[in-house]
Chains A and B, each alone.
Chain A
Amino acid sequence: MDLTTGWFLVIAALWIGYFFLEGFDFGVGALLPVLGRDDTERRVLINTIGPVWDGNEVWLLAAIGGTFAAFPEWYASLLSGFYLPVLLIVVSLILRVVAFDYRGKRPSAAWRRGWDRCLMFGSVTPAFVWGVVFANLVRGVPLDSRHEFVGSVLDLLNPYALVGGLATLLLFVLHGAVFLVLKTRGRIRSRARVLAGRIGLATLATTGGFLLWTQLHRGTPVTWILAGATVAALVAALRANRYGREGWAFVLTGAAVVALITVLFTALYPAVLPSTMDSAYSLTTTNAAASPYALRIMTWVAALFTPFVMLYQAWTYWVFRRRIDVSDIPA
């Protein structure tokens, strides 16, 4: 396997890691006003991800930074072409980061309500917009011969992309609900379980529909198998949730996230940003890539340090593995 394909896999892995981890963060944030009926309950929800959300978000920075290093052209065309959606994501994430830390810093109910809204908005928006962005990646965008995006922002709001956004949003909310069943006790836990069951079918239908549409656009036999795996994981997750096996349910919604993002990257390859104007203008793993020397340096760095990152991040999850409930929240 050549280095450019290898780095395509690395970038895909970083995005998969990001969506697996921040997926349930987004879900928890989105469910804040639904599952948390008073301030203490909302604090329980926030504290299930309190120690880990920031580390989860770094997967995004690693994916973006890695893209800059390994595929500079991809980085440039993607971020300038999707200017407003990316701005919307960044603004949402800024509000979300600040909300986590500032919401508890004043006792006033209005203050906390305001930050709760930021947290919810900051979770729902990227969960949806990332889906729109990735669906457009697979669908292709108007890139000219310089690989510059020459369409309008309305081109990005096509029905296929909107279904994609809805699919990632619902999938992350489900992933978050199942995570909450796993990490809480008492009434929040039972509420989260009921809610996961209720949104399960809608998630299954939307994700299934999006996968089918993706198949019609750019299907290959491999994506058929992966799409089947996504749907199967979701069905199994819903069953596990119903029978009180939340550990399995979480693993399975995670597997569905992994499989869905894998479908998108598989459908994309060997392009990284296809052009709808002329396939000669498409960015591919070859024409978007950095030089072999830069890729070799990056390969060494990634191979040496990624294991440590995964090890200490896993350790954090182990340290904070305990379930929490309203009785754990200090006054």
Chain B
Amino acid sequence: MDALDIARWQFGITTVYHYFLVPISIGLSALVAILETAWVRTGKEHYLRATKFWGKLFLINVALGVATGLIQEFQFGMAWSDYSRFVGDVLGAPLAIEALLAFFLESTFLGLWIFGWDRLPKALHAATMWIVAIGTQLSAYFILAANSWMQHPVGYRYDAASGRAELTDFGAVLTNSTVLVAFPHTITAAFVTAGALMIGISAWHLARRQHLDVFGPSLKLGLWVTVVASMGVAFSGDVQGKIMTEQQPMKMAAAEALYETTQPAAFSIFTIGSLDGSRELFSIRVPRVLSFVATGSLDGEVEGINDVQAAEQARFGPGDYKPLIPITYWSFRFMIGAGLASAGLAALGLWLTRRGRLPKSRWFWRAAIWSMGLPLVANAFGWIFTEMGRQPWAVYGVLRTSAGESPDVPPPQMLTSLIVLTLLYVVLAVVEVRLLAKYAKAGPPELVAPDEGADRPLAFAY
């Protein structure tokens, strides 16, 4: 492994790991806010207990999300200094704005929510969680705007004197067609993730017929959120596919392991390619579906890998412009497959639990519990697909990944950070999952009437 490989592994590990936590926080903050608002509006105690229960799981998750988010702010400069010099004029702004607009909002109002139970009026307390939820969405928008610029650079010019990309139109960066679809796709997927978490944990208790007053409504909320948000994911994903075909034809061809340009193109369920990645050996295909996914028409022509490779060579000079085909191909399938499975199970669950029914089948509840993991898989593979599918580029058509690493960080130092961070993350994952399981199984807290008087203990303390 050379320094570039180490830097790439490190970026992949820290970012995919971080992204197991982020969608849960984005989705769950809004769901907790909804539950607390329901309590403020109706005064019904089970909503308050649900708020406290899901709120606690949210906090355990958010702690690790904040912790693993720290490295994100630093690692471009640490391991990718030449990338940072090249893109900083454009991408520094969304990153700084994310900190100023989103991180301050999230952290400050989260502190108010955690400690403010007896310091703030009810409605204001619920509002602090809404503000946290808005903060997470703002954060998602700015970071996706930055990522979308790497997929489809707009609003900049290359300045030969300074040898870097320079911002010319910040509005264009924020309204990049890529971010306009990536944002709904990501946010709806985050809601699917949080919804599925709610389904799984509620199912664990409902299968045991306990805490029905809290987990009955929670299951229903989780199911509805998952089904509706899944539709959003599918719809935005469909638009995204078309935009991707237009902006990064290689990624679409690689997603399909489609070697030769085809019209109409069939969607591959299973493809095995030759070892050098230049042709197909065997495949099972559904006719015309790829044409529809890529172009919106059943007869559309879809460019194959070999033609795109030739076109990119003509445009950018000699070189290999193909990503790792097996990775793009399979990650695309795992993303879609896990997403569809999650949506299908939630739709089935919605039907089986209609009008308050509680199915007796143990298999139903088991499936519901295990379905928690599906969106996490889909999210991770979605990012692996979109980032690995853009290779060899860091910024599509502009900057190669190999030109972005820090040239003078000694490889042993890079390896040290890779090992330290990976070990730390493994330990923290074990701790976090065990804590989540402990509190998920413990169920919602019983409410105690608050003591009146000036000397009562704090309603909440670390």
A positions within 8 Å CB-CB of B: 43, 46-47, 50-55, 57-58, 61-62, 64-70, 72-73, 75-81, 83-84, 86-87, 90-91, 93-95, 97-98, 100-106, 144, 146, 148-150, 153, 290-291, 293-294, 297-298, 301-302, 305-306, 309, 312-313, 316, 319-320, 324, 327-331
Contacts and interface: CB of A to CB of B under 8 A. Distances in A.
Nearest to B408: A148
Interface of B: 59-60, 63-64, 66-68, 70-71, 73-74, 76-79, 81-82, 84-85, 87-93, 95-101, 103-105, 107-112, 114-116, 119-120, 159, 164, 166-168, 170, 406-409, 413-414, 416-417, 420-421, 424, 428, 431, 435, 438-439, 455, 457-462
Contact of B461 (A57, A78, A330): A330
Contact of A319 (B66, B120, B461): B120
B166 to A, nearest CB: 5
Contacts of B88: 68-69, 72-73, 75-76, 290
B108 A316 contact: yes
B406 A72 contact: no
Given A58-B107, A301-B100, A87 B420 contact: yes
A167 to B, nearest CB: 24
Contacts of B455: 327
Given A50-B115, A100-B63, A68 B107 contact: no
Nearest to B457: A330
Given A76-B81, A94-B70, A102-B435, A57 B107 contact: yes
Contacts of A301: 93, 96-97, 100-101
Given A102-B435, A305-B101, A329-B461, A83 B111 contact: no
A3 to B, nearest CB: 13
B99 A98 contact: no
Contacts of A61: 70, 73, 99, 103
B88 to A, nearest CB: 2
A53 B105 CA distance: 13
B43 to A, nearest CB: 24
Contacts of A79: 74, 76-78, 81, 84
A320 B87 CA distance: 41
B90 A91 contact: no
Nearest to A144: B408
Contacts of A94: 67-68, 70-71, 424, 428
A328 B458 contact: yes
Given A51-B112, A68-B88, A316-B112, A83 B67 contact: no
A65 B73 contact: yes
A106 B439 CA distance: 10
A294 B167 contact: yes
Given A69-B95, A80-B78, A148-B408, A297 B108 contact: no
B116 to A, nearest CB: 7
Contacts of B459: 330
B92 A90 contact: no
Nearest to A77: B81
A50 B462 contact: yes
B166 A298 contact: no
13 contacts: A51-B112, A55-B111, A57-B107, A62-B96, A72-B89, A72-B92, A76-B82, A80-B78, A146-B407, A149-B408, A309-B100, A309-B104, A330-B459
Contacts of B73: 61, 64-65
A144 B105 CA distance: 40
Given A68-B84, A305-B100, A312 B108 contact: yes
A200 B108 CA distance: 32
A291 B413 CA distance: 32
B461 A291 contact: no
Contacts of B421: 91
Nearest to B428: A98
Contacts of A146: 407
- The winner among A43, A50, A150 for most chain B CB atoms within 10 A is A50
A318 to B, nearest CB: 10
A247 to B, nearest CB: 21
Given A79-B84, A316-B112, 13 more contacts: A51-B115, A58-B103, A68-B84, A69-B96, A70-B96, A72-B85, A72-B87, A90-B71, A144-B408, A290-B89, A297-B167, A301-B93, A316-B108
A302 B99 CA distance: 11
A69 B92 contact: yes
Nearest to A114: B431
Contacts of B95: 65, 68-69
A51 B98 CA distance: 21
A50 B63 contact: no
- The winner among A47, A65, A91 for most chain B CB atoms within 10 A is A65
B206 to A, nearest CB: 25
B192 to A, nearest CB: 25
- The winner among B78, B417, B424 for most chain A CB atoms within 10 A is B78
Contacts of B96: 62, 65-66, 68-70, 298, 301
A320 B115 contact: yes
Contacts of A47: 458, 461-462
Contact of B409 (A51, A83, A101): A83
A64 B59 contact: no
A64 B81 contact: no
Contacts of A70: 92, 96
A205 B381 CA distance: 56
Contact of B99 (A51, A58, A84, A90): A58
A298 to B, nearest CB: 6
Nearest to B66: A97
A153 B417 CA distance: 14
Given A72-B84, A293-B168, A64 B97 contact: no
Nearest to A52: B111
| Top 5 closest pairs, chain A to chain B, by CB | A72-B88, A79-B77, A69-B92, A101-B63, A65-B96
B255 to A, nearest CB: 32
A249 B104 CA distance: 28
- The winner among A83, A153, A313, A320 for most chain B CB atoms within 10 A is A83
B372 to A, nearest CB: 20
A294 B89 contact: yes
Contacts of A309: 100, 104
